[in-house]
Amino acid sequence: MSHYNSVGIEIKSVEGILAALAELKLKPIVVDKPVALKGYEGDKREQLAHIVVPGRTYDYGLTSVSNDLGFYREDDGRYTMHVSEYDSGMLHRRFSRPFGVAFKQAYAMAMAKQALPGLNLTSQSVAADGTVTGSFTIEVPDQVVSVGI
């Protein structure tokens, strides 16, 4: 049985969390009343969550022995993320950086896409230290602006 780790995150909107998860191609379920997360054998854990990414929906390209990933809404509106040690390692491998890092970056990119609806990501790569670099284009009306490094 893999131990769960919990970490508080600053994002208060469920929409923001869902957008970040979508950016990472994870498929969450949102519930009104918190539910117990399940381990890979279907066993209920003590950790509760309002947003659950079922372990069976992960796509590591390996075996399906993942535990649920979850986000619990605290009384002050902030969320606590619960992720098992096993899946922390697997998610790290999948995203080439710690999941917490990938999640923050996914949130920033999701917000960028929402703020600039015409944003078209043209390149993206992850460095060894977790830094993501890339480029995107946006459409602007009737003005020609040349921008680059």
Phi, psi of 135 (to 5 degrees): -150, 155
DSSP string covering 21-73: HHHTT---EEEEEEEEEE-TTSPEEEEEEEEEE-GGG---SS-S-PPPEEEEE
The interface mask with another protein, positions 110-149, x = CB under 8 A, is: -xx-xxx-----x------xxxxxxxxxxxxxxxxxxxxx
**Identity of the residue, 54 or 98, whose beta carbon is nearer to another protein in the bound complex:** 98
Smallest separation (angstroms) from another protein to the CB of 93: 17
- Scan residues 2-41 and list those touching another protein (CB under 8 A): 10-11
3 state DSSP class of 92: helix
**Identity of the residue, 63 or 146, whose beta carbon is nearer to another protein in the bound complex:** 146
- Scan residues 81-110 and list those touching another protein (CB under 8 A): 97-98, 101, 104-105, 107-109
Contact 50, 136 (CB under 8 A): no
Instruction: State both tokens at 63.
Output: 């075996």
Q: Give the residues lining the site for another protein (CB under 8 A).
A: 10-11, 97-98, 101, 104-105, 107-109, 111-112, 114-116, 122, 129-149
